[in-house]
Amino acid sequence: MEYTKEELQEMLRKKEKEEIKLKKQKKIEFSKIILIGVTMAVTIVTLFSFAMIYVTRDLSPLSYLIPAWFTEFSIATGFYYNKAKAENITKIEKYNYEEYKEG
């Protein structure tokens, strides 16, 4: 079966649209992976600490483990928000430039 030139062009346009759609699908950013991993680690350590404190009746781990992990969590959160802020500034500048260019 042979295609006309117009049919081939239409097929090519459809394929390009599909490729663009696939590229637009968001993948998880590395900073989000870090944030999710740290959040999970903090949750696991906190629950484990609570369980061991209940079993051993010793509160001394609270003075070391919990502050250390929550410090790590706050650093990861600060890094994530700082990175998101920088990305948003870039997006806003790009949008304003395109708007200025059109108008």
Digit-coded pLDDT (tens) for 72-83: 888 888 988 898
Is a pLDDT exceeding 70 seen at residue 24? no
State the pLDDT confidence band at 40, using cuts at 50, 70 and 90. very high
How far, in Å, CA of 69 to CA of 48, rounded?
Answer: 12
User: Among 35-44, 77-86, 90-99, which stretch is predicted with the lowest mean pLDDT?
Assistant: 90-99
Does the predicted model carry a pTM greater than 0.85?
no
State the virtual CA torsion across 59, 36, 87, 84 in degrees, nearest 10: -30
